[in-house]
Amino acid sequence: MDTENKEIQVAHRSFSSFASWVRCGKAWELERKLQAPSEPAWWFVGGQAFHSAAELFLLKEFKKSQDAGKYADVPF
C-alpha cells in the first residue's frame, strides 16, 4: 500500500486546546470532547466577588469626588 502520498486530515484545534491536551490528555477529553460538567474553582468565585466589590466602591468614591463633573460623559 502506498502511504507516502496520502495526506492526514486533522481538525483545527486552538492553541489553548492543544496546550490543555499536552498538560493532561484525560482532562482535555473530559472538558472538550465529552463536555463533562465542572465546578468553578473557589478562587475564581472569590476573585470575581472581590473585583465586583472593588468596582462598586471605586465608582461610589468617583461619583462623590469633586472631579466627577469633569468626566460626566464617560459611560460606566
Q: What pLDDT does 33 receive?
A: 87
Q: What pLDDT does 67 receive?
A: 62
Distance CA 52, CA 37 (A): 26
Distance CA 44, CA 70 (A): 35
For the chain, which residues make up each domain, given as ranges? 15-62
Percent of the chain residues past pLDDT 70, beyond the cut: 72
Phi, psi of 8 (to 5 degrees): -100, 125
Whole-structure pTM value: 0.39
Q: Mean per-residue pLDDT for 53-64?
A: 87
CA quadruple 28, 30, 35, 41: dihedral positive or negative? negative
Give the residue carrying C-alpha cell 464617560: 74
Confidence of residue 55 (pLDDT cuts 50, 70, 90): very high
The yes-or-no verdict on residue 68 having pLDDT over 60 is no
